[in-house]
Amino acid sequence: MAATGEPILRVRDLVKHFPLRHGPLRAQVGLIKAVDGVSFDLGRGETLGVVGESGCGKSTLARLLLGLERPTSGSVTVGGGEITRARGGELKRLRRNIQMIMQDPYASLNPRMTVGDIVGEPYEIHRDAVPKGDRRRRVRELLEIVGLNPDHADRYPHQFSGGQRRRVGIARGLALQPEIIVCDEPVSSLDVSIRAQIVNLLGRLQDELGLSYVFIAHDLSVVRHISDRVGVMYLGKLVELGGDGEIYGHPAHPYTQALLSAVPVPDPEGRERRRRIILQGDPPSPITPPSGCRFRTRCWKARDVCAEREPPLRALSGTGHAGACHFAEPREAPPPA
Ligand SMILES: Nc1ncnc2c1ncn2[C@@H]1O[C@H](COP(=O)(O)OP(=O)(O)OP(=O)(O)O)[C@@H](O)[C@H]1O
Ligand SMILES: [Mg+2]
């Protein structure tokens, strides 16, 4: 769905450094730069895919967006209110509007609670959201919306399949009628067919409820069909941000090109144009990121300038496509159709 009007979520220069402690006295010996200067807007009804390798800071970013973690610096504004500064009742009100669907349903669903109680749990925290007498009915509705049998509300998570447990997590995420949902790898470790069902469900819910999504995944193939725009993260930073056609059709950053080359391309024309780029080694440690461009130690285009100067995320077109590479070429925007 295309975005309209004012952004519903605004992220500016967001930084989260965790202290690295060592020894019997737990002395601070360094900083883990988990998120290190991230900015973007999310439009109403829009889906922003966020991709990157393990440890690049995706889940930390998600927790910052929800106000579950205080940033070292920078801001997150949700529907006009700054969640990164809010406290008490104001924080509670803002949090209601942005909910998370978790990576691992086994870890996030309490095995001793019935599915109905799990879905209705947010009402225990936000007691004014739905009157007590209506909660049972509302939980049944939520189960129905996500394609589960409402008569199964008294069953336990282990009685459901992996795909059904994702649906339970989605139903709970919808309980407080948020406008924004952050999906942290909602389809990882699912079979391809179940994965497609869950992605389709999220797409349908977006259309029906007008939701805005930040959709986090490891690789570009997962977010392709659901994202309007995609942000590519590397070691705590966004290295490229652009519309779906720009990221998949004209990737500007070498890291995006490498990620994309690992994704199977359906059309034979694309397959010929694209060569497989194998990235050497693991990402460097977020405790001691390389000077200048963080990607340079794995980049085949790297020159001296890459070690000396950090490339800013700069506009490459008039349409919001931006890349953080000294060698990324600005492109002419395509003529309006
Ligand atoms: N509470 C914490 N305390 C210290 N370090 C942390 C904490 N949470 C995350 N980190 C570190 O921050 C970095 C980013 O972690 P994060 O979980 O955000 O990555 P991720 O992109 O979600 O990875 P994955 O794809 O494996 O889920 C990692 O180096 C991690 O070890
Ligand atoms: Mg994660």
Task: Kindly report the CATH number assigned to the domain that includes residue 60.
Answer: 3.40.50.300
Q: How confident is the model at residue 110 (pLDDT cuts 50, 70, 90)?
A: confident
Tell which one of 15, 16, 18 to mutate to probe ligand 1, the residue whose CB is within 8 A of the most ligand atoms.
18
Give the closest residue to 78 by CA, choosing from 61, 91, 60.
91
* pLDDT for the residue 322: 97
59 CA distance to ligand 1 middle (Å): 7
pLDDT for 187 beyond 80: no
Ligand 1 neighbourhood includes 289 CB (under 6 angstroms): no
Reduced to 3 states (helix: H, G, I; strand: E, B; else coil), residue 242 is: strand
Report which of residues 47 and 2 the model is more confident about. Answer: 47
Q: Residue 314 and residue 239: Cα distance in Å, rounded? A: 10
Helices 162-174, 192-209: inter-axial angle, 10-degree rounding: 20
Give the closest residue to 288 by CA, choosing from 246, 235, 244, 221.
235
Tell which one of 21, 59, 222 to mutate to probe ligand 1, the residue whose CB is within 8 A of the most ligand atoms.
59
Asked whether 16 and 69 are in contact (CB, 8 A), the reply is yes
Structure tokens at 294: 């963080």
| pTM of the predicted model as reported, rounded to 2 decimal places | 0.92
Q: Within a domain: residue 328?
A: no
Over residues 188-205, the pLDDT tens digits come to 778 888 888 999 999 999
Q: Within a domain: residue 183?
A: yes
Q: Residue 55 and residue 141: Cα distance in Å, rounded? A: 37
The number of domains in the chain is: 1
Q: Within a domain: residue 75?
A: yes
Q: Residue 336 and residue 307: Cα distance in Å, rounded? A: 39
Residue with CA at minimum distance from ligand 1 atom 28: 55
Q: Residue 306 and residue 37: Cα distance in Å, rounded? A: 18
Q: Within a domain: residue 43?
A: yes
Residue 54 structural domain: 4-19+31-253
* pLDDT for the residue 265: 59
Asked whether 303 and 293 are in contact (CB, 8 A), the reply is no
Q: Residue 331 and residue 337: Cα distance in Å, rounded? A: 17
* pLDDT for the residue 209: 95
99 CA distance to ligand 2 middle (Å): 16
Tell which one of 32, 33, 237 to mutate to probe ligand 1, the residue whose CB is within 8 A of the most ligand atoms.
32
Q: Within a domain: residue 206?
A: yes
DSSP conformation letters of 189-206: TS-HHHHHHHHHHHHHHH
- What average pLDDT does range 266-270 have in this prediction? 56
Q: Within a domain: residue 138?
A: yes
Ligand 1 neighbourhood includes 286 CB (under 6 angstroms): yes
Nearest atom in ligand 1 to the alpha carbon of residue 57 is: 18
Q: Within a domain: residue 8?
A: yes
Q: Within a domain: residue 292?
A: no
Counting ligands in written order, which one lies closest to the CA of residue 35? Answer: 1
Give the closest residue to 286 by CA, choosing from 52, 55, 53.
55
pLDDT for 162 beyond 80: yes
List, in sequence order, the alpha helices (H) in the chain: 58-65, 88-96, 105-108, 115-120, 122-125, 135-145, 162-174, 192-209, 220-223, 244-249, 254-261, 268-273, 304-308
Nearest atom in ligand 1 to the alpha carbon of residue 69 is: 1
pLDDT for 337 beyond 80: no
Q: Residue written as tokens 């700054």?
A: 82
CB atoms within 10 A of CB 95: 20
Ligand 1 neighbourhood includes 18 CB (under 6 angstroms): yes
